[in-house]
Structure 1
Amino acid sequence: MIIAGFGFRAEATARSLKDAYDKLGGGADAIAVPDDKAGALCFKQLAAELDLPVHRISADAMQSVKTQTQAQKVIEKRGTGSVAEACALVATGAEGRLIAARHISEDRMATCALAMTSSEGQNT
């Protein structure tokens, strides 16, 4: 399963989120967002457009994973290097792995990263 994790500023639009997602090529099976941002209009619009399951990620869970990207401003505000990467990784579980580091929307208001469950793509 592939999870698209999102981080975004208060000024972001659904277009901002979709642009960041499209830069990664789409193809997610679910989307993940910080719990406190799940009710944002832009995210609700994106979730409706994509029609994918939503994983709401707690602040504690985001802080429990190491991200590939380390943005100092995000570390100070959220306790993680990348909200998008942290959300994607938490949603895939302990064995998940990042397959695309955060990409930033053209307007710089949103980020998206992809993570995959460990069993994806492996022969059983």
Structure 2
Amino acid sequence: MRAIIQARVPGSAPPPVLQHGFARAPGVETPRALVAGIGFRHATSADEILALVAEGLRQADRPGAQLAALATAEDRAGDRAIRDAAGSLGVPLVAIGVEALREAGRRVVTRSVRIEALRGVGSLAEAAALAAAGPDGRLVLPRIASAGATCALAASGEAYPS
């Protein structure tokens, strides 16, 4: 089972999973960490989440990109589907607390009336991705949806070039 990493309150250091420890030569661009934020219904399978992440990477023109993490709401991070999806991808699962979701929710670009009423954010997937990517994270792909899940991609630091 993969460890669940707690997201920090915005304004503090990014979650440990996203810290880069690789030395790089001057002038060599280091790829930014790419996080997939996931919202999902209880009956959603890991396969549906995996397919949606793959579709998100395809739509963002990064089909072979290496993800740094999956991120979701803290109260859903224990669900088997999201844990299995993170395990299949070989990435940590970042559990985002309510306050961090709401803080990052100020930067979402998609608004779902239902999710806003339930969670206090317009898009759980976008808020989770942005919170996990850190205070300088930017959306690479706004929320996309399948029947039972949503996915958004965010890059830490400077966003990938458009």
TM-score under structure 2 length normalisation: 0.70
Aligned partners of 1:48 and 1:61: how far apart in 2? Answer: 24
Runs ≥4 in structure 1, deviation > 3 angstroms? 119-122
Deviations 1:34-88 (A, max 9, x none): 1111110111110110010221100111111221100000000000001100000
Summarize the Cα distance change of 1:121–1:58 in structure 2 as closer, same or farther, 3 Å threshold: same
Consecutive unaligned residues of structure 2, counting only runs of 5 or more, are 1-32, 58-62
Q: How many angstroms apart in 2 are the aligned matches of 1:121 and 1:12?
A: 30
Which structure: larger Rg?
Answer: 2
- Unmatched runs of 5 consecutive residues or more in structure 1: none
Give the whole-Å Cα distance in 2 for the aligned partners of 1:42 and 1:121.
29
> What CA RMSD, in Å, does the superposition of the two structures yield over aligned residues?
1.5
Question: What does 1:19-38 align with in structure 2 at a 5 Å threshold?
Answer: 19-25=51-57, 27=65, 28-38=67-77
Alignment of 1:1-124 (within 5 A): 1-25=33-57, 27=65, 28-65=67-104, 66=106, 67-105=108-146, 108-119=147-158
User: Percent identity of the aligned residues?
Assistant: 32
Q: Distance in 1 between matches of 2:118 and 2:160?
A: 35
Q: TM-score, normalised by structure 1?
A: 0.90
Q: Which has more strand, going by share of residues? A: 1
AA aligned to 1:34 is A
State the 1:117 CA deviation: 1.1
